[in-house]
């Protein structure tokens, strides 16, 4: 029996080695195969990007799933992970996930078989189904402590609650809409029109990015905050910095 326990311990340690030997913020990928969408269309050879932080407990009870916001990538979530941040890797095993279409996971911009406008349209629920496949089929995790997300990550959190209510103990949606209001739809319609009309006019990626970012930035905060936080004579520096930070992550087809 002692030998059996030792062998079991060695087996468990061997399962943890892939996580423990990697740099904690290394970009990883889960190949989940063809992903059938709600529409019935298929993303071929779908893969999901992710990063891991912290140590997995033997009973896998300390897992937090943390998907990305609109245009965000898993690397962008690093600032929200730390001892005094949103998720503490000294207590939790945190999996930050690149949502479908963010340019890291399967996206119009990186698909060799379904590039750009040939990529099938997908929903927030499709993102969540892909993340569920990553957790269960690739990482072997079937129940987690929490799912959490910011903005579009918050929308994914609500979709997780609806689609897989028993998968997590807690759900934390930060500035995420459970149902889009007419004001939300006005924002997304304005951004989508800027993208589509920019593509039809042959505008550059940089110009389309600039227009979308300025619409987005205007809606991220209240008018009072922007007036107080950004002085009129500092506006050019503010908007230039904002556009420079947004453009590298932006692809109009994504």
How far does Cα 46 stand from its chain's mean position? 15
Please determine, for residue 212, whether its predicted confidence score (pLDDT) is greater than 50: yes
Lowest-confidence pick of 5-14, 15-24, 234-243: 5-14
Q: What does the domain layout of the chain look like in residue ranges?
A: 15-174, 182-249
**Which residues, at least 6 apart from 17, have a Cβ–Cβ distance to it below 8 Å?**
none
In the chain, the percentage of residues whose pLDDT exceeds 90 is: 84
- Residues 28, 75: contact at Cβ < 8 Å? no
> Span 100-110, mean pLDDT?
97
Mean pLDDT estimate for the chain: 90
3-state secondary structure (DSSP) of residue 243: helix
> Span 202-216, mean pLDDT?
94
> Span 206-210, mean pLDDT?
93
Q: In which residue are the tokens 């939790």 written?
A: 92
Provide the whole-model pTM: 0.85
Q: Residue 17, class by beta-carbon neighbours within 10 Å (0-12 exposed, 13-18 middle, 19+ buried)?
A: exposed
Report the C-alpha gap between 78 and 25 in whole angstroms: 8
- Residues 62, 32: contact at Cβ < 8 Å? no
What pLDDT, on the 0 to 100 scale, is given for residue 247? 76
Distances (CA, A) of 211 to 51, 197, 201, 218: 31, 11, 14, 11
What pLDDT, on the 0 to 100 scale, is given for residue 250? 82
Nearest in space to 151 (alpha carbons), one of 73, 242, 229, 69:
69
CATH of 15-174, one of 3.40.50.1820, 3.40.50.2300, 3.30.1360.10, 3.90.950.10: 3.40.50.1820
3-state DSSP of 13-65: HHHHHHHHHCCCCCCEEEEEEEEECCCCCEEEEEEEEEEEECCCCCCCCCEEE
Give the tens place of pLDDT for each residue, 116-152. 999 999 999 999 999 999 999 999 999 999 999 999 9
- For 68, other C-beta atoms within 10 Å of its C-beta total 28
Please determine, for residue 194, whether its predicted confidence score (pLDDT) is greater than 70: yes
What pLDDT, on the 0 to 100 scale, is given for residue 5? 42
Q: What is the DSSP letter of 116?
A: G
pLDDT band at 249 (very low <50, low <70, confident <90, very high): confident
């Amino acid at each position: 029996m002692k030998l059996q326990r030792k062998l079991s311990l060695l087996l468990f340690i061997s399962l943890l080695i892939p996580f423990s030997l990697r740099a904690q913020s290394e970009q990883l990928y889960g190949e989940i195969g063809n992903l059938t969408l709600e529409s019935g269309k298929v993303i071929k050879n779908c893969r999901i990007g992710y990063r891991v932080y912290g140590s997995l407990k033997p009973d896998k009870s300390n897992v937090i799933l943390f998907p990305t916001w609109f245009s965000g990538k898993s690397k962008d979530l690093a600032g929200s992970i730390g001892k005094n941040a949103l998720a503490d890797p000294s207590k939790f095993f945190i999996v930050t996930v690149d949502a479908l279409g963010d340019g890291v996971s399967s996206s119009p911009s990186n698909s060799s078989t379904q590039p750009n406008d040939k990529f099938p349209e997908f929903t927030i629920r499709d993102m969540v189904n892909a993340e569920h496949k990553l957790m269960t089929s690739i990482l072997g995790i079937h129940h987690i402590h929490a799912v959490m997300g910011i903005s579009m990550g918050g929308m994914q959190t609500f979709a997780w609650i609806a689609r897989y209510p028993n998968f997590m103990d807690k759900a934390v949606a930060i500035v995420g809409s459970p149902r889009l209001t007419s004001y939300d739809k006005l924002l997304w319609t304005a951004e989508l029109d800027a993208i589509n009309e920019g593509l039809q006019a042959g505008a550059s990626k940089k110009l389309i990015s600039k227009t979308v970012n300025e619409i987005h930035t205007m809606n991220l905060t209240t008018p009072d905050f922007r007036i107080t936080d950004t002085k009129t004579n500092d506006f050019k520096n503010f908007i230039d910095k904002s556009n420079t930070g947004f453009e590298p992550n932006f692809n109009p087809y994504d």
